[in-house]
């Protein structure tokens, strides 16, 4: 049976930090928070989405940020997003060359690495 898509990406977050997650993922990245199912909501965390992109944040009591492993999110208007992130206290670092893309890395409020890519204009 073939794998056909990634349904969502899960990242960890510390307990009780849902408001910070919402400020970053919804307020700065532009994803929309969606309600978690009742049986999962009691665990804490938060779910965000935009079209087919789904990012779930799950609570880990012994939290350690993902410094190397990361989701790569394809975006439009990378410069605008970077400006918003930096104004919100989340500086982006250049991701270096990658054929066909402009890219940066940014840490979420918990130190998880996020890659943001925008397709480069055709030459």
Domain map of the chain by residue range? 9-119
Average pLDDT for the chain: 96
Asked if pLDDT for residue 94 goes beyond 90, the answer is yes
Asked if pLDDT for residue 123 goes beyond 70, the answer is no
Q: Domain 9-119 classified CATH 3.40.50.1010?
A: no
Mean pLDDT of 67-85: 97
Partners of 117 in the β-ladder: 74, 103
C-alpha neighbours within 13 Å on the C-beta side of residue 68: 0
Q: Provide CB contacts within 8 A for 106, sequence distance 6+.
A: 82, 85, 90, 91, 92, 93, 113, 114, 116
Mean pLDDT of 45-70: 97
pLDDT the model gives residue 80: 97
């Amino acid at each position: 049976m073939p794998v056909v898509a990634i349904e969502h990406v899960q990242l960890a977050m510390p307990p009780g930090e849902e408001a910070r997650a919402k400020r970053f993922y919804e307020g700065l990245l532009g994803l929309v928070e969606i309600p978690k199912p009742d049986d999962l909501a009691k665990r804490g965390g938060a779910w965000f989405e935009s079209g087919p992109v789904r990012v779930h944040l799950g609570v880990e009591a012994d939290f350690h940020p993902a410094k190397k492993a990361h989701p790569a999110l394809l975006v439009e208007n990378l410069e605008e997003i970077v400006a918003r992130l930096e104004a919100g206290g989340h500086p982006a670092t250049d991701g270096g060359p990658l054929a066909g893309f402009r890219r940066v890395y940014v840490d979420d409020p918990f130190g998880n690495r996020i890659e943001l890519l925008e397709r480069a204009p055709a030459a």
